[in-house]
Amino acid sequence: MVLTVLLSCVAVLLGTAVAAVAGAGRRATTPFVYSIALVVSAAALAVAGWALLGSGPADSVRLPIGLPWLGAHFRVDAVSALFLVVINLGSLTASLYGLGYGRHEPTPGRVLPFFPAFLAGMTLVALADDAFTFLLTWEFMSLASWALVMAHHRHADNARAGYIYLLMASFGTLSLLLAFGLLAGTSGDYAFDAIRGAVPSPIVSAAVLTLALLGAGSKAGLVPLHVWLPLAHPAAPSHVSALMSGVMTKVAVYGFVRIAFDLLGPPAWWWGAAVLTLGGITAVLGVLYALMQHDLKRLLAYHTVENIGIIFIGLGLALAFQANDMRSPAALALTAALFHVFNHSVFKSLLFFGSGAVLTATGERDMERLGGLIHRMPLTAFAFLVGSTAISALPPFNGFVSEWLTFQAILVSPNLPQWLLKFLVPAIGALLALSAALAAGCFVKAFGATFLGRPRTDVARQAQETDAFSLTSMFVLAALCLIAGILPGYFIDALGSVTQQLLGAQLPQQTGLQWLTIVPIAESRSSYNGLLLFLVIVAAAWVTAYVIRRWASGALRRAPAWDCGFPDASPMTQYTSASFAQPIRRVFGSVAFHAREQVWMPAPGQTLPARFHVTMRDLVWDAIYAPVETAVSWAADRLNKVQSWTIRAYLTLVFGAVVVLLMVLAVWQ
């Protein structure tokens, strides 16, 4: 039943994509496409949520399409139900947002057909139950999102972003193809059921894990495979950016979870160490990159890299615990990671919607040209503030709960027997704490430079509040940030069936506890009550405000800012996002980015302005991508000569190649 509804949803979405091509150029196409996407996502969300909470038996079907001897297998179990909830919640809010935002689209014909196709692709990946279908739908999802990245292709940066995205997506799919090839083994049965049954040798498992990390990691944005993400995500229209950053990266996490926890069999302890290390580095580097940006959407995209790091820290811990047969700590770590998957999809979509609203209102993504928008767009500012607080992992919002759970999992890990893990885990804990603190700094900067202070340009001065559809969609997500933060017990319980399926263990039931406190391990060990904390903070703030109102002077006078007696008339003298990040750039950036500041002062008596110049290098690009780029160009130059060979030389080449291949075959056998 569940599967039928979901597959029908996909069919409707694909039909809508075709209809959007047919209706290109008509004004009514935009509301038509987004309304259908809205209704279909709502239906899929409801069904997936029911499947997750009901935790009935897995529902599977084999359709006679695709490879003739294989067919296409689809299946819904707890894991895919959870990710379907995340995907369709994102789709639902993005479609709602699109109803308003899509009206400003200059070239709707380049967006509308691909939007429902992208949604359908993501849902299909989560439903796929054989390697062939998985790879096909994965590639379909990548191509649909690539088309959306290229929607505004005349922009030179976007063309480059699209090219790099295409390269990285092909690389990722290639890695996954090889991973599934190894998993299927020589028998070549690509159905997930058969793969699950097979027991690969340790070397094959190691290769598959590496390939899965490369394949899913490149889509999710693990450092050093993240380079395409901050280019491609901001290039797309904002509701698509939200989907790519908030949701598509989660599909990549799904791919990794499916392979590492479900298909690959019992883990080895070093998998955990590898995933933890990657996660820790990704978290800190992601947020440091984000701090250096002044483009609002690019900052958000880099923050996705950070959050993917946090999710992989949780996954790595879960693998390490599972390898040592510590079931309940593994369930705790996996719950933390999966809860963060949900939370990040919620607040990242919200923040991208907010940046889209700013983009519509001002036409600017550059924070150095914004400012003071809280006066012109109060509702957007409020929603964006909620999202910023949530992503900075501050109580009482949801981001804090999932990071708190990750910390609790870290605190159980001294019991791990391996020495490497004993040394690694506290260091990863420090990296996680560092990234959380830097994230708060980053969002003070993002919110402060965009919404607070005085407007820096005329466009910021004349901004208008965004439309009702966009606002509704932002406020729904903001409410979810708060609800998941103050009532986390319900969400943790919903994840129980997922960890039960993957690890054979789950956290104790949370919702029956007194006052809705969450207790992941034991009452004496740790507990957290977001609801109580929220109520007490509100009560304390309210009582303080009441007391002040009752007994203090209520007089208030508006006056020019004091600024220590040196008020600056021009809003350009405010702290900008670059100056805000300067201390952090000096402390961390001098190592992480080789950041160098140069000040040029004119000689005394000269009436020239002083100049300040900052140079930063992207070390990951310089160390990995630039050499590859050089090598490819070098090889291409050499091969170029082949083009002008004579026919004799070509024939010699072909003959030589055949001889060599035959010799290899002969030696092999």
Q: Nearest approach, Cβ of 425 to another protein (angstroms)?
A: 7
Structure tokens at 199: 């027991």
Residue partners of 655: CB distance under 8 A and separation at least 6: none
Would you say 33 and 20 are in contact if contact means Cβ atoms under 8 Å apart?
A: yes
What gap in Å lies between CA 413 and CA 432, rounded to an integer? 15
Angle of helix 249-257 relative to helix 114-127, nearest 10 degrees, comes to 20
Q: Nearest approach, Cβ of 426 to another protein (angstroms)?
A: 5
Q: Which is nearer to another protein, 564 or 667 (CB)?
A: 564
Q: Which is nearer to another protein, 255 or 286 (CB)?
A: 286
Query: What is the SS3 assignment for 534?
Result: helix
Q: Nearest approach, Cβ of 607 to another protein (angstroms)?
A: 23
Angle of helix 2-22 relative to helix 114-127, nearest 10 degrees, comes to 160
Q: Which is nearer to another protein, 198 or 452 (CB)?
A: 452
What gap in Å lies between CA 504 and CA 452, rounded to an integer? 49
Q: Which is nearer to another protein, 286 or 429 (CB)?
A: 429
Sign of torsion over alpha carbons 269, 275, 277, 283: negative
Q: Nearest approach, Cβ of 288 to another protein (angstroms)?
A: 10
Q: Which is nearer to another protein, 423 or 600 (CB)?
A: 423
Residues in the chain: 669
Q: Nearest approach, Cβ of 265 to another protein (angstroms)?
A: 24
Would you say 344 and 336 are in contact if contact means Cβ atoms under 8 Å apart?
A: no
Q: Which is nearer to another protein, 230 or 429 (CB)?
A: 429
Q: Which is nearer to another protein, 53 or 516 (CB)?
A: 516
Q: Nearest approach, Cβ of 412 to another protein (angstroms)?
A: 10
Q: Nearest approach, Cβ of 303 to another protein (angstroms)?
A: 15
Would you say 47 and 5 are in contact if contact means Cβ atoms under 8 Å apart?
A: yes
What gap in Å lies between CA 12 and CA 40, rounded to an integer? 8
Q: Nearest approach, Cβ of 560 to another protein (angstroms)?
A: 6
Q: Which is nearer to another protein, 177 or 444 (CB)?
A: 444
What gap in Å lies between CA 198 and CA 193, rounded to an integer? 9
Q: Nearest approach, Cβ of 374 to another protein (angstroms)?
A: 5
Query: What is the SS3 assignment for 62?
Result: strand
Unique residue bearing structure tokens 């809280």: 374
Would you say 255 and 88 are in contact if contact means Cβ atoms under 8 Å apart?
A: no
Q: Which is nearer to another protein, 34 or 397 (CB)?
A: 397
Torsion (CA) 313, 145, 294, 622 in degrees, nearest 10: 70
Structure tokens at 88: 């369709």
What gap in Å lies between CA 31 and CA 403, rounded to an integer? 39
What gap in Å lies between CA 353 and CA 362, rounded to an integer? 14
How many other C-beta atoms are found inside a 10 Å radius of the C-beta of residue 386? 24
Q: Nearest approach, Cβ of 565 to another protein (angstroms)?
A: 8
Between strands 72-76 and 59-63, the pairing is antiparallel
Q: Nearest approach, Cβ of 138 to another protein (angstroms)?
A: 37
Q: Which is nearer to another protein, 342 or 443 (CB)?
A: 443
Q: Which is nearer to another protein, 356 or 399 (CB)?
A: 399
236: left (phi over 0), alpha (psi -120 to 50) or beta: beta
Q: Nearest approach, Cβ of 468 to another protein (angstroms)?
A: 21
What gap in Å lies between CA 415 and CA 576, rounded to an integer? 47
Q: Nearest approach, Cβ of 245 to another protein (angstroms)?
A: 22
Q: Which is nearer to another protein, 176 or 486 (CB)?
A: 486
Q: Which is nearer to another protein, 134 or 400 (CB)?
A: 400
Q: Nearest approach, Cβ of 388 to another protein (angstroms)?
A: 8
- The b/e string for 349-375 (b: 16+ C-beta within 10 A; e otherwise) is bbbbbbbbbbbbbbebbbbbbbbbbbe
Helices (DSSP H) in 487-520: which residue ranges?
Answer: 488-494, 496-503
| Residue 613 φ then ψ, to 5° | -135, 135
Q: Nearest approach, Cβ of 585 to another protein (angstroms)?
A: 9
What gap in Å lies between CA 244 and CA 512, rounded to an integer? 36
Q: Which is nearer to another protein, 255 or 448 (CB)?
A: 448
Q: Which is nearer to another protein, 598 or 606 (CB)?
A: 598
Sign of torsion over alpha carbons 262, 50, 2, 245: negative
Q: Which is nearer to another protein, 16 or 408 (CB)?
A: 408
342: left (phi over 0), alpha (psi -120 to 50) or beta: alpha
Among 434, 210, 221, residue whose Cα is nearest residue 309: 221
Q: What angle do CA 385, 104, 462 make, to 5 degrees?
A: 55
Q: Nearest approach, Cβ of 89 to another protein (angstroms)?
A: 26
Unique residue bearing structure tokens 């904002």: 238
